[in-house]
Structure 1
Amino acid sequence: MSWVWRFETEDGGAAAPSGSSLSDSSLSESFPTQSDAETWLGENWRELLAAGVQQVVLQEAGHKVYGPMSLRPVD
């Protein structure tokens, strides 16, 4: 199975991170486990938010696992 993040704008449209120091390959990376995917997001969410991603959806083999989950900190 492969686990991937879908990056979205606030209204649920597809977001393409721009101005990010994350490489294109890491943005399209698939992960072997849910834990690996969640660890990657935990390490990179600030960078994604700064690059224009507002929320993410975790998918496994093309099926939604959970989300959308906002990347903005709770006030």
Structure 2
Amino acid sequence: MGIPDVPSVFKQPTAADRPWWWQLVDASGAEVPVDGDLAGQRFANQSDAESWVGEVWQDLLDVGVAAVVLYEHDRQVYGPMKLSAS
């Protein structure tokens, strides 16, 4: 007896399911690679994306991110938005 197929509710969401994402850039506008919980975050809606960046902005600054750019799929919504006032 094998393991039954995993129900679809447990599959990982696709980019179509979560089209909102942040591009993380340094002061020159170059993309900043990040690891761990900060990497590859995608969101179902703009509000969730904005809430996330509001919660982790200091962590992003700590790893060299100076600004963020919000995208829905491949459409730039706004940004770059600086993470600090200086």
* 3-state DSSP of counterpart to 1:10: coil
Q: Count how many residue pairs are aligned between Structure 1 and Structure 2.
A: 69
> Whose RCO is larger (CA < 8 A, sep 6+)?
1
* Superposition pairs of residues 1-75 of structure 1, within 5 angstroms: 2-17=19-34, 23-24=36-37, 26-72=38-84, 74=85
* 3-state DSSP of counterpart to 1:67: strand
Contact 1:17–1:52 (Cα < 8 Å) also in 2: no
Larger radius of gyration: 2
Q: Give the unaligned 5+ runs of structure 2.
A: 1-15
* 3-state DSSP of counterpart to 2:58: helix
Q: In 2, Cα distance between the equivalents of 1:17 and 1:32?
A: 21
Q: By how many angstroms is 1:17 displaced?
A: 3.2
Q: Which runs of 4+ in 1 moved over 3 A?
A: none
The two structures, once aligned, show a CA RMSD in angstroms of 1.6
Q: Give the unaligned 5+ runs of structure 1.
A: none
